[in-house]
Structure 1
Amino acid sequence: MTAPHTDLAGLTGGWVNFDTTALGIRLVDAVEDEGRLALSIAEAGPGAVGTRTALTATPLVDAGGDGPAVGFLAEARLGTRDVILCGYLNRGLLTIDVHTAHPDDQRAPNTMYRAHYYRPGPARPSGPPEGVPLP
């Protein structure tokens, strides 16, 4: 579910794939652009040529419709593949499910992979530990 004036702060910033040897999406940069979530996706891998793709994602909020964005949904063309990206926050990390179709090669099966991303730099906890008052 999306809502007008959704707080995108939890999703914005730079995200790095934990698996440094993986092929596929290595880096995700997310910024707010006039209330929308703009993504810059960097793909690479060992022996692969790096690419960068810009796209717009639809932010998702919890079922109640209030509160900050907790994920996003996007469709894009990455190289020769059509992909649907479903990203969501989980304990301060970003998980992206990448659903892939190969329209240029009908013999190639549709696939899905899941990758996990972290924010480089100091940790940004979503709130104080339970029972600890905010400063």
Structure 2
Amino acid sequence: LGEPVFDKLHADLGKAMLSINAVHGFDYGSGFDGSEMRGSDHNDIFLADGNGNISTSTNYAGGILGGISSGMDINFRVAFKPVATIMTTQETVNVAGEASEIKGKGRHDPCVVPRAVAIVEAMAALVIADHLLRNNMYQSLK
């Protein structure tokens, strides 16, 4: 699944995840840690098991190579910022540009994490479904 140029699977996953409220980060595979590795160490070497099955010895690419799924598990991480509405008085500026204070009111979740897992899984499923449909369409044109 995926395309090598414009509709890369990891780009679509990143776009979907970063569109979720409170998400401030996305990485896949080895993520930023991979930038500190040598290419020879980071390469996911393909292996055959003798039964016609092909896999890689590692999964630094997170299951996506060149924008296309490799058949390995797709793995990524999503980082959430803390909830901005707090019940503590904070300094701010009003519409006139004057110093002011604000304090949260009402019922607000202290943490988005309990709901985050289901939302991230649903968004990932939507992206995978879109790519499956696109792939099926391409296959039907052959």
TM-score (norm 2): 0.29
Structure richer in helix, relative to its length: 2
User: Which structure's residues are more often strand, by fraction?
Assistant: 1
The structure with higher relative contact order (CA 8 Å, sep 6+) is 2
**Structure showing greater Rg:** 2
Q: TM-score, normalized by length of structure 1? A: 0.30
